[in-house]
Chains A and B, each alone.
Chain A
């Protein structure tokens, strides 16, 4: 397969990109608005072509634990779900983080809490960026804002996951998962034949046995492990921050928004500038690590920031911490599965001027 231009849903793009990235295994469970990923993979049947395993598990809990098993064999494995399903996966995710296993988890977010709605939302930001399950850990969190990024971030996620032996979450939402856009798909990659030294593959006589576990009954050992994780997260914060700036150079006001909200704000800055209000957009591409340093720099020369999210205000806390009191920071956004209108964002900004 060569590089190819297709019109696809975000969900389909994830599935196709996973096959082309040479993924070894996908384990999923149906839930709206992301079931197309599993459906696409079952139809594509990559087990007949690349040898990629695709399995519909009995639950999200089982699916994430299959990911654990596959990842511990050194394989490129992934699962996808939407908010209520991601909550169920949290046990597995903390074990995966604790065992330092690489994998990709895609959350096509819908509104909550509880069963909530099936419409797009960004209300799982805290869960994604602050840990989600028990214990001190972080995922690397990527936030796609287009179908193209849904595709591109699959391979990027696997790269980061294996580089740091850390689970990566792609935090999408129902809008990006469901909408169709043109997408450039990369050529088919071969599945990797290299086996990481830490993987369980059966113990040859030449090496010690490998134990994949997150258990350390000795508190001193556990604390050392926690410190090791912190060092890893610090390195990730140092090297892996990704963001995009739009019209920030001369801006007096900055919208901070990711994913679908960033798309909305692209229109909002045009509308605001037409009114003579110089606004810009900072779009975090990595939500963890968060572009705190850049936001702090920008806070030195702009008058105000508005965190625009389809939530009750979650990322706004990270924006506030980044800005550290230098300038006022507000949150604005719709909830419950309602996508914010560009005009609403501008009206909110005007109300704070």
Chain B
């Protein structure tokens, strides 16, 4: 009891040092405990606020766990059909070239049903940002095998583990788009530790600058977890992700601009 009272005394507005960004709405996140989506949303919202993009941004949300993303970030949104977000973003950016246009898509959305839209938007070099959350599973529909599910990994549609002879191989979309001439900046990050959060945020900030300079498609994969779908606690899920997902989907830049512009330097130093 004494301890609880102590905490109450500490939790006062004047003691708050870490606040919700204004660009996040007050709606309660619909994600499971430990899920990476919430962190990814927050970073994105922070970037939108810090870069002064709230009135410029038009986001395209996917079909999947983050289908209700438009409830959480306070900007204009379009909700796409499953996999089609890059097609919407293509038209939005071409018709409103001054706006900041991005998609936010899961691995089922982007790497399975939306493969064509993703590859062609990237290959045309559409001046948009694609944020790709890869947790190796279809979370929303209850943990089915995704195109990104690892070999041997169990899911509700690969209950004995993904047998690549029967079910085919996982698809590394980020590696594919990095080979396309239309992409300018391609990176793979995570958001499971404060250090990784910082790196991902830095990547997003770069992508914002590159879009302002009309450089082409920026593609940020965030390797993430799915405690519910993987049937693990959040801590176990992050450990499993480090031990299994990262060796298959190594973190780091896959394609970086040869010469960073002066403007990019200024902004990455800004923090």
Contacts and interface: CB of A to CB of B under 8 A. Distances in A.
Contact of A200 (B67, B77, B81, B116): B77
Contact of B87 (A25, A65, A201, A211): A65
Contacts of B60: 69
B120 interface: yes
Interface string A195-221: 000001111110001111111000000
Interface in B106-134: 116-117, 120
A76 B252 CA distance: 41
A215 B67 contact: yes
Contacts of A57: 87, 120
Contact of A25 (B56, B76, B94, B117): B94
How many chain B residues sit at the interface, stated as a range, is: 20 to 34
Interface residues of A, number: 38
B58 interface: yes
Interface in B173-216: none
B116 A58 contact: yes
A268 B154 CA distance: 68
B95 interface: yes
B88 A66 contact: yes
Nearest to A27: B91
A204 B76 CA distance: 9
Interface string A17-31: 000000011010000
B77 A25 contact: no
A160 interface: no
A260 B120 CA distance: 37
Nearest to B76: A200
B74 A203 contact: yes
A-B pairs, 3 with minimum CB distance: A69-B88, A213-B79, A69-B91
Interface of B: 54-58, 60, 67-68, 70, 74-81, 84, 87-92, 94-96, 99-100, 116-117, 120
Interface of A: 24-25, 27, 53, 55, 57-59, 61-63, 65-70, 72-73, 75, 77, 91-92, 95, 99, 200-205, 209-215
